[in-house]
Structure formats: structure tokens, C-alpha cells
Structure 1
Amino acid sequence: MPALPNSHEALLRNREYLRGRLAVLGPLDIAVVPALAESGLVMTEHYGLWERLQNLAGWAVAFGYDDPALTPAAADTIVVFLPKARAELALRLELARWLAANGARLILVGEKKEGIAGAVKQLKAMAPAAVKLDSARHCQVWQADDLQPAETFDVHQWLEWHPVDCGGIRFEVAGLPGIFSAGELDTGTAMLLESLADYPLTQGPVLDFACGAGVIGTWLQLYQRSNGQSAAPVDGLDVQSQAVICARSTYQRAQVSGAITASDGLSRIEGKYASVLSNPPFHTGIRTDTSMTEQFLQQVKEHLEPGGELRLVANSFLPYEELIRRHIGPVKVIAGDRRFTVWSARRH
């Protein structure tokens, strides 16, 4: 078996502290799951990991914080892996309390570079008697017994609403802990939106890849309406559960249309689009990782109509121009500065 992340190895060193019905929240590598127990509940926010977890016999699998597989008082031990966004830890700990049976045990594990020291302060605020079990592989493993169960849990109650104002179009966007750029319009997306005003899209169906909270699809439809144009639905897809929840909520509040789909890459998308838009992520955890975008560029041509346009914004230092040219067709820069570039390419 390939080497597991350090936090997973640290947990395996302490598996004797796992007892009764087990719930595992947020593993980065699913290989750790069957090594912990023969059965249990595992939750991941990543759709690709959720798909692969379906192959595990004996385990109930949940995609994100609103999956019906999550039920109250269902676990005697809850393992919480430290999420990459600190704000999400409070959400994950509250879910753990709701999953906890009477007398349940919580195990928190994470790497020092991920911020486990600060996370322990959050844990102790909830469970003052928490104790450190182990320090290994630059990680810490903490245990809190007799977890106080939560009576209710509804991720939609954690939604926060933030105003977006760009090009005279104003609306509210939903945010949840752990979602990219929650609460503000990031500079790259703003540049992409401005390019849509300066260089309008061809009429036809639109796809927003890695849609996040649904900002691009919402803005585009409201902008088209404000200019007396017919607004085509903008479908969105994202690999993360919180993003899917937020995008659907943003669309609903703004009264715009389009299907929001959970998908790892383009695997769940059928049909072709006149335009595909994206401000794709380039981080996995705390390291740069462009593999998802590279895979997207290899596949997206099959989902573009002949002559259809890919319009993508990214940090200017990322090596996307040659990939776009190779996989889509002639590419040009339509907006940019030292930090961000908007590329446009049309399918051959």
C-alpha cells in the first residue's frame, strides 16, 4: 500500500483507542478506512473520494454535511481529521457531536503544519478534559471522552450571505466554512466577469466548471437580464459538497437557473455547451496542484460545441496557455495583469 498521509499513519498508531461503532470524518486517503475497522460510517466532502468509497463493503458513505447517511447518535467513536480550512473545523466538530451516542469518544488528528495546535484550542473549548494521546510524524492525536451530544444538526443553518457587486450587478452569495473565497469576490473571478461584459459569449448553453458558490453563473444571468437579453441557464459543477450546497442556495435566492452537479472532473456531465467558463482551483490542501485543471483541459473539448468557447481565468504564472492551445485550439489573452490572466480559446 502506498504511504498514507502523516495524520493517517498517526491515527493507525493509536487505533486501539477506537471502540464501538466508528465514524470517520474527512479522510484524505480512503485506504486508511478499512484499516481502522470492518464497518462504520465515513464522510467526505470530495465527490471523487465518495465515488471510490462506494467500493468499501460494510461502510456507510456520506458525501458532505447534508447526506442522509448521516444520522444522530450513530457512533461510539468519531474520528475527526483536521480540515484544510480552519473555519470548517467548528462545522466538523458540531457534526461529530450530532453523530455521537451517549458517552461517545472523539479523536482529533492533524499535522502541525495544518494548525493542529490551534485546533486543539477549539477542541478544548468544546471538551475541556481532552488529552493528547500521541505526537508522531509531525502530528498530534487528541482524545475527548463523554462527548456532549448535539440535539440537532443542519448544515443549511451555517449558511452565511455576502453581497457581491461587480459591473453594476449586485446579489447575495451563500457561504459555508471551508468553501473558497467565502464572503468576498476574489480578484480573478472579478476579472473573468468583467471580460464577459467586454466580450459577450455566443448565445447558447453555458457550463461553469469548479463553480464554487455559483457566483459566475448568477452574475452572468443577472447581467444578461439587466441588458435586456435572454439569459441562458448556466449549469455548474464542483467536486466539493459545500460548494454544491452554496451554489444551489445562491441560484435559488437570485432566482436564476441551471443544474448544479457534484462531479469529480467532467465525468457526470453529458451533452455539449456553447461556452465553458472556469476559475479553477490550483491547490490541494496547502500545496500547488494543477492536475485537476490539466485533466479538465484534456476532456473539455468533448463538451464544447464546434466553435464553442472556453474562457478561463487563472494566476498568470500557471502554465495553462500551452495546454489550452494543445487541447482546445488557438488561444488568446483577453484580459490580464501581473496576477491574473483571462484566456479564451475556441474549439477547432
Structure 2
Amino acid sequence: MPALPNSHEALLKNREYLYGRLAILGPADPALMPALAGSGLVVTERFGLWQRLSSLEGWTAAFGYDDPVLSPGCADTVVVFLAKARAEMALRLELASWLVAKGGRLILVGEKKEGISGAVKQLRALAPQAAKIDSARHCQVWQADHLQPSETFDVRQWLQWHGVESSGVRFQVAGLPGIFSAGALDAGTAMLLDSLASFPLKDGPVLDFACGAGVIGTWLQLYQRSLGEPGTQVDGVDVQSQAVICAHSTYQRAGAAGTITASDGLERVEGKYAAVLSNPPFHTGIRTDTSMTEEFLRQVAGHLEPGGELRLVANSFLPYQELIRRHVGPVSAIAGDKRFTVWSARRH
């Protein structure tokens, strides 16, 4: 069996501190749960990982922070793995303090190089009695006992709104901790929106892959309406729970139309589209990872109508041009600078 992440190995080394009903927040590898040889609740924000966790015997898997299987006081021990962003760590700790039973235990685990020291400060703000119980596998393991649980938890209380403007169209976008580019319009998406104004799409349904908070689909519909045209329905798909929540919220506030789907890649997307748009991610945690986009490029032609367009913005150094040409069709750069390139391809 492949080696588990360092943080998972550190937890297994200290499994004697786990007691009673378990809840595990933010694991990276589903192999951890069978290694714990127990049962309980496991929470992930990633749809593909949730699917794998759902198949584990004895474990109840929750997708994100609003899954209906989550309930207060359901765990005697809650294990929280380090989140990559400080704001999401605060969200995880608040969820943990709602899931834990009165007098229960919280275990925090994370790698030193990924910022466990900052998370410890957040833990101690919640539980001043927290103490380190081990350093192992370049990680620290902290424990807090006799917790007083929170009475309420609602992820939508964490929603924050910010304005976005492009080509004279302004609207409000929902943000949650852990979502890409929360609080601002990132430069890559801005370039993609400019290209949609300069080179309009042909008529027909549109899919926004890795839709995030729903910026592209909302803007496109509002921009078309500003020109006196009926807004094209834009469906969205994303792997992350927070993105799905935010996209629903952004669409609802703007009066945009489209179905938002949680999916690992295009697995749960049905039908064909006149255009597929994307500003896909290329990071997993702190590491460059283009595997999801490469898999998307291998599959996207099957979701394009004949002659349908793929329009994608990406960092200019990423090697997508040949993949797009091979799997979709003739490709050209229709906008770009040293940082980003907008690629346009028509299905063969």
C-alpha cells in the first residue's frame, strides 16, 4: 500500500488518544479510515474524495460543511487536519466544536512546513488548555479536552460578498473560506471575461468547468442582457463544496440561470454544449498539479456539440496548447500576456 501522508501517519502513531465516537475533518487519503480500524463520521470538501469515502464500511461521509448528515454533539473525539488557508482552518475548528459532545476531545494534526504553528494559535483561542502530545513525521499533534460544544453551526453565516466589475457589468459574488480568489476578481478570469466581450460565443448552452463562485456564468448572462440579448443559461461544475455553495448563492442573487453540479471532473456532467469555458486550477495544496485539467481536456470534446468551442484561460507557462489541439481540435491564443493566455479551440 502506498505510504500515507505524514499527518495521517502521525495520527496513527497516536491513535490511543482517540476514544468513543470519531469524527475526522479534512483527511487527504481514504486509506486512513480502515487503518484506524474504527467507524465514525468523516468530512471532506472534495467531491471525488467524498465518493471514495462513501464506500468505506462503517464510516459516514459528509460532503462539505452543509451536508445534512452533520449533527451536533455526534462525536466524542474530533480529529481536525490542517487546512491550507487560515480562514478555512477557523471554519473547520468551528464545525469541530459543534460536532463534539460536551466534555469531548479535539485532536489537531498538521505538518510544520504547512503552517501548524498558526493553526495552534487558532486552536488555543478556542481551547486555551490545548497541549502538544507529539512531534512525528515532520508534524505536530495537539490535544484539547473537556470541550464546551458550540450550540449552532451554519456555513452560510460565513458567506461574504464582494463586488466584481468587467465591461461595465457589476454584480455581487459570494465567498467562503477556502475558495479560490475569494474577495477579488483574479487576473486570469478578468482576461477570459474580456475575451468573451471581444469574441462573443455562438448561441447555445454553455458549461463553466471549475466554476468556483460562479463569476463567469453570472457575468456572461448579465453582459448579454446589457446588450439587449437574452442571457444564455450557463451550467457550472466544481469539485469543491464551498464553490458549489457560493455559485448557487451568486447565481441566486444575480438572477442567473443554470444548474450547479458537484463533480470530480466531468463525471457527473450530462449533455452537450455549444461552449465550455474554464479557468481551471493548477494547484493541490501548495504543489503544482495540472492532472485534473489534463483529464478534463481528454474528456471535454465528448461534451461539445460539433463545432463547439472550448475557451480556457491558464498561466502562460502551462503546457496546454498541444493537449487542447490533440483532444479538441485546432487551437489558437486569442488573448494573452506574460502571465496568462486565453486559448480557443473548436471541436473537430
TM range (shorter): over 0.9
In the alignment of these two chains, the number of paired residues is 348
Partner of 1:135: 135
Deviations for 1:222-272, whole angstroms, at most 9, x for unmatched residues?
000000111111000000000000000000000111000000000000110
Residue of structure 2 equivalent to 1:233? 233
> How far, CA to CA, are the matches of 2:86 and 2:317 in structure 1?
27
| 2:333 aligned with 1:333 | yes
- Please give the secondary structure, in 1, of the residue aligned with 2:2: coil
Q: Which residue of 2 aligns with 1:304?
A: 304
Measure the CA separation in 1 of the matches of 2:331 and 2:175: 33
Structure 1, 283-292 or 53-62: larger mean CA deviation: 53-62
- Aligned partner letter, 2:152: T
How far apart are 1:38 and its partner, in Å?
Answer: 2.2
Q: Which whole-Å deviations, capped at 9, do the CAs of 1:251-304 have from their partners, x for residues lacking one? A: 000011100000000000011000000000000010000000000000000000
Which string of whole-angstrom CA distances, capped at 9 and with x for unpartnered residues, describes residues 78-101 of structure 1?
000001122100100000011010
What is the 5 A alignment of 1:69-218?
69-218=69-218
User: How many angstroms does 1:136 deviate by?
Assistant: 0.9
Deviations 1:169-189 (A, max 9, x none): 000000000000000000000
Counterpart of 1:34, as a letter, is P
Name the SS for the 1:207 alignment partner. strand
Instruction: Give the match's secondary structure for 1:344.
Output: strand
Secondary structure at 1:256 match in 2: coil
Structure 2: which 5+ residue stretches go unaligned?
none
Distance, in Å, in 2 between the alignment partners of 1:187 and 1:37 is 46
Q: Deviations over 1:29-82 (max 9, x none)?
A: 110012124210000000000111121111111000000110000000000000
Residue 41 (structure 2) aligns with: 41
Q: How does 1:250-269 map to 2 (within 5 A)?
A: 250-269=250-269
Partner-residue secondary structure (3-state), 1:83: coil
Amino acid in the other structure paired with 2:60:
A
Give the Cα separation in 1 of the matches to 2:54 and 2:119. Answer: 30
Q: Distance in 2 between matches of 1:156 and 1:37?
A: 34
Indicate whether 1:293 and 2:293 are aligned: yes
Between the aligned residues of both structures, percent identity stands at 78
Name the aligned partner's letter for residue 308 of structure 2.
G
Whole-angstrom distance in 2 between the partners of 1:37 and 1:217: 44
SS at match of 1:270: coil
Q: In the alignment, which residue of structure 2 is the partner of 1:342?
A: 342
Distance 1:259 1:147 in 2: 40
Provide the C-alpha distance between the structure 2 equivalents of 1:155 and 1:37, rounded to a whole number of angstroms.
30
Counterpart of 1:172 in structure 2: which amino acid? Answer: Q
Determine the C-alpha separation between the residues in 2 that align with 1:85 and 1:28: 15
SS in 2 for 1:149: coil
**Secondary structure, in 3 states, of the residue corresponding to 1:305?**
strand
Distance in 2 (alpha carbons) for counterparts of 1:142 and 1:2: 26
What is the Cα deviation at residue 147 of structure 1?
1.4
Find the aligned partners of 1:85 and 1:321 in 2 and give their Cα distance.
Answer: 31
User: AA paired with 1:43?
Assistant: V
Distance in 2 separating the partners of 1:63 and 1:171: 28
* Aligned twin of 1:15: 15
Q: Tell whether 2:76 aligns with 1:66.
A: no
1:113: how far off?
A: 1.2
Q: Secondary structure at the match of 1:306?
A: strand
